């Protein structure tokens, strides 16, 4: 599949800012399952852009902009060729051992209720991949997909107490549940046509990967109740959504900021 992606993030400031420093995790990389055919990162002001990698091995671009800045738009667009591998991830840039992804963060830590839900979901089989598929489907069945922008700072425990959840929160709950079963699992940010109906989204998509014996990393999307396929573009990996955030950084200046995000994912022309 050939996917066309347009992702725009706009910050507006109540008071002009003197300086911005941002880490951008907005550039996918080539793997055995996806090839970046075309990709462009654009900033609507004078800025220095420096490519590199973060501690998880993700492609990053450091952005440095001098003020005064009333607003800034950061936009990426391009096309990515994908193929389906039944959720199994191949050819990624791995710099950390799977066991590290047994670690929880304040956003992904679980509790007794999540652990019990995980045990009940996988009861009746000892097959690891079957257990993870059951957990994934159980989360999709329990929660209604929330199409709004994720609530900043909401934890897996807080989300588990509701009846609906955003893709980010669903992925965090999958991580907490998988960890309770002793399975390494991590957060993935990227783009997908499977998230909701229509092409526009209020945020990039989020899902999870779990490490399976003899298979390696396998992608699970509890928002859809299925493994990620050719309709997904993988961008960044981390212990949670904060570590894989498309835009993160700091600003020098007082006042408030307002952020608007618009993501469009669609089949490229001719598909």
CATH of the domain at 158: 3.10.620.30
Residues 113, 197 within the same domain:
yes
Residues 50, 179 within the same domain:
no
pTM over 0.85: yes
Residues 33, 99 within the same domain:
no
Residues 61, 88 within the same domain:
no
User: Under DSSP, is residue 232 helix (H, G, I), strand (E, B) or coil?
Assistant: strand
Domain count, the chain: 2
User: Concatenated DSSP letters for 174-212?
Assistant: HHHHHHHTT--EEEEEEEESSSSSSSEESS-EEEEEEEE
Residues 141, 191 within the same domain:
yes
Residues 187, 112 within the same domain:
yes
Residues 9, 24 within the same domain:
yes
User: Could you identify the residue written with the tokens 């003020």?
Assistant: 67
- Give the domain range for residue 250: 2-81+246-267
Task: Report the candidate in 70, 53, 241, 31 with the shortest Cα–Cα distance to residue 152.
Answer: 241
Burial 24-37 (b: 16+ CB within 10 A, else e): bbbbbbebebbebe
Residues 180, 219 within the same domain:
yes
Residue 157: enclosing H or E segment and its boundaries?
helix 156-160
Mean pLDDT of 136-165: 92
Residues 185, 54 within the same domain:
no
| pLDDT above 80 for 199 | no
Task: Report the candidate in 89, 81, 40, 46 with the shortest Cα–Cα distance to residue 64.
Answer: 46
DSSP H helices, 86-155, are 112-122, 128-142
Q: Which CATH number belongs to the domain containing residue 32 in this structure? A: 2.60.40.2250
User: 77-86, 111-120, 233-242: which has the minimum mean pLDDT?
Assistant: 77-86
pLDDT value of residue 147: 79
DSSP secondary-structure letter at 101? G
* Sequence-distant (≥ 6) Cβ neighbours of residue 141 within 8 angstroms: 225
| pLDDT above 70 for 197 | no
User: Could you identify the residue written with the tokens 């509790």?
Assistant: 111
């Amino acid at each position: 599949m050939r996917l066309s992606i347009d992702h725009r993030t706009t910050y507006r400031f109540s008071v002009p800012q003197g300086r911005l420093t941002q880490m951008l995790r907005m550039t996918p990389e080539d793997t055995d399952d996806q090839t970046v055919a075309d990709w462009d990162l654009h900033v609507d002001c004078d800025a220095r852009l420096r490519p590199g990698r973060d501690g998880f091995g993700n492609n990053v671009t450091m952005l440095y902009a001098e003020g005064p800045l009333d607003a800034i738009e950061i936009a990426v667009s391009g096309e990515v060729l994908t193929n389906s591998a039944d959720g199994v991830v191949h050819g990624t840039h791995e710099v950390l051992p799977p066991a590290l992804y047994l670690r929880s963060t304040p956003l992904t830590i679980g509790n007794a209720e999540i652990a019990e839900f995980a045990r009940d979901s996988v009861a009746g089989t000892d097959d690891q991949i079957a257990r993870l598929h059951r957990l994934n489907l159980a989360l999709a069945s329990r929660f209604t997909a929330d199409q709004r922008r994720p609530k900043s700072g909401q934890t897996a425990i807080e989300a588990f107490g509701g009846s609906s959840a955003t893709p980010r929160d669903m992925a965090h709950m999958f991580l907490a549940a998988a960890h309770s079963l002793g399975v390494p699992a991590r957060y993935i940010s990227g783009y997908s046509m499977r998230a909701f109906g229509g092409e526009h989204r209020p945020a990039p998509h989020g899902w999870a990967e779990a490490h399976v014996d003899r298979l390696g990393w396998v992608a699970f999307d509890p928002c859809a109740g299925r493994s990620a396929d050719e309709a997904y573009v993988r961008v960044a990996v981390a212990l949670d959504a904060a570590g894989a955030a498309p835009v993160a950084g700091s600003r020098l200046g007082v006042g408030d900021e307002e952020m608007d995000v618009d993501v469009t994912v669609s089949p490229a022309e001719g598909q």
